[in-house]
Structure 1
Amino acid sequence: MTDTAIGNATAPDLSKLSQLRLGLLWASSLAPLAFVALLLALRWPQYWLWINFEQTPMTSLEVAVMASTAMLALLAGSRAWLYGRPHAQTWWLLAAAFLFFALDDRFALHERLRDRFLAPHGVSVPLLPWVSPGDFVVMLYAAIGLLFLPRVWRMLGAHAGARLRLGLGLAVAVVAVSLDTIDLGLLPVQWQRLEQTIEECLELAAQVLFLQSFLCALIGDVAAAHAQVPAAGSAVGTRAAGVS
């Protein structure tokens, strides 16, 4: 089956598709920003209470963003599979990864692993003396992601906006992971709170950027496919052909 097989009359209005993309990008940027600002304001001066800990509104927001990212990747992979396009398996792997991250955040899986098994037994990374025992699990996630990165980068090659947001998301995630490895016991309490708040906000920013990257790629694939399918005798087909 090809995109043409769904019928020329179903080709979307590409100008509206562009407006949809822009609207979703703005919404996915401003809504989390406003939500975090509200959390900080409602608990001020104890700004960290709804940000730093597990089972807080911040956790719920992060889980929602990552679950949405997983659904976008699942949708993109299913579309690629249905139309015989490449990279379906890559999209599905990304969907599984972000679903796992959402579950990890919701149920504090790596924190439980650290606190119940790794830290009590003093398990650490000898080459990283500043990392407290058990606090290397997130770094392991990051290392696996970096090994998978070239495959994802090639998949997004046709979408400059998707690549840009993926690169920015990776840069922000690296900073967040680096902050996560700091032994907070070495810092005064007020600096611990500030460091954890910054770390959580950076994690959310990276997650939003990954969501937007997948969004750009999916909408870009739809637009590219239909821009090359003129609908004979229809205004939609004329407009699509003009855009291509």
Structure 2
Amino acid sequence: MTRRHRLAVLGALTVAGVLVPSLLFVAQYPQWWVWIAQEQVPMTWFQSVTLVVAGMVSLCAWFVCRTVRRVPRAGYALLALGFAALAFDERFAVHERIRDGVLAPRGISLPLLTWIAPGDFLLLLVAIVGLVLLPTVLRPIRSDRWALTPFVIGVTLSLLAVGTDSIDPSTWSLQGERVQQTLEECVELWAGLAYLAAVTNSLMTLLEEYLVRPPSQETTEQ
């Protein structure tokens, strides 16, 4: 795949990252936060679709690696499972239901982390698991700068989103909470799009390496 194709992917996803929040903002103005900051609204639907597509692309990359016996490839499988789980949570607000229905009413919280509201630590635990698995996930893509760069951006944005989500909302004013939650949802969307860019570029590299110019052909030409 040419540089132009990769730039087209990055450009399209960047435009989506700007256009989607802007349209949702305008569509509900002056209550601009309604379709962005709340749960199970158009913004969370788009976020979940982005993660599902990223998971499918990751699965395709794993299948290509398995077909041509390329290693390492376990990172693609972990990404596919992780994106699927995050998409399910985003679509059905699973961790919010556990927090509000089980943890928060019982005042369950993490010791020493006083800025986190009771029950509001689930995403923090997910982030820790993700960081533990990060070395395995990076192995298949670390030599591909077109994939590695957006993936690192995605990880950075994810950590930023988790950090802001962990702050006790009772410490914000109503208007401040709306702004904070709106920005948080935008950051989550941008992280998902960055991951999608990373795995798409990685798949393009695999297809170019093993389908467009298979190793046997390169050997023959040499």
- TM-score, length-normalised on structure 1? 0.84
Deviation of residue 155 (structure 1)?
1.7
**Is the 8 Å Cα contact of residues 73 and 140 (structure 2) preserved in structure 1?**
no
2:43 to 33, 47, 58: 58
Deviation of residue 87 (structure 1)?
3.0
**Is the 8 Å Cα contact of residues 36 and 43 (structure 2) preserved in structure 1?**
yes
Q: Which residue of 2 aligns with 1:36?
A: 21
Q: Which residue of 2 aligns with 1:218?
A: 203
User: Greater CA deviation, 128-137 or 23-32?
Assistant: 23-32
2:52 to 67, 70, 92: 67
Q: Which residue of 1 aligns with 2:76?
A: 91
Cα shift readout 1:79-106 (whole Å, capped 9, x = no counterpart): 1111111133321121011101100111
Q: Which residue of 2 aligns with 1:100?
A: 85
Mapping for residues 1-244 of structure 1, pairs under 5 Å: 14-15=1-2, 18-225=3-210, 226-227=212-213, 229=215
CA distance in 1, matches of 2:139, 2:63: 18
RMSD: 1.8
CA distance in 2, matches of 1:122, 1:191: 24
Q: How many residues align?
A: 219
Rg comparison, structure with higher value:
1
**Is the 8 Å Cα contact of residues 58 and 199 (structure 2) preserved in structure 1?**
yes
- What one-letter code is carried by the residue in structure 1 that aligns with 2:66? W
**Is the 8 Å Cα contact of residues 150 and 197 (structure 2) preserved in structure 1?**
yes
- TM-score, length-normalised on structure 2? 0.92
**Is the 8 Å Cα contact of residues 13 and 197 (structure 2) preserved in structure 1?**
yes
Deviation of residue 122 (structure 1)?
0.7
Deviation of residue 20 (structure 1)?
3.0
Cα shift readout 1:140-176 (whole Å, capped 9, x = no counterpart): 1100000011112222122012111111111111111
CA distance in 2, matches of 1:91, 1:108: 25
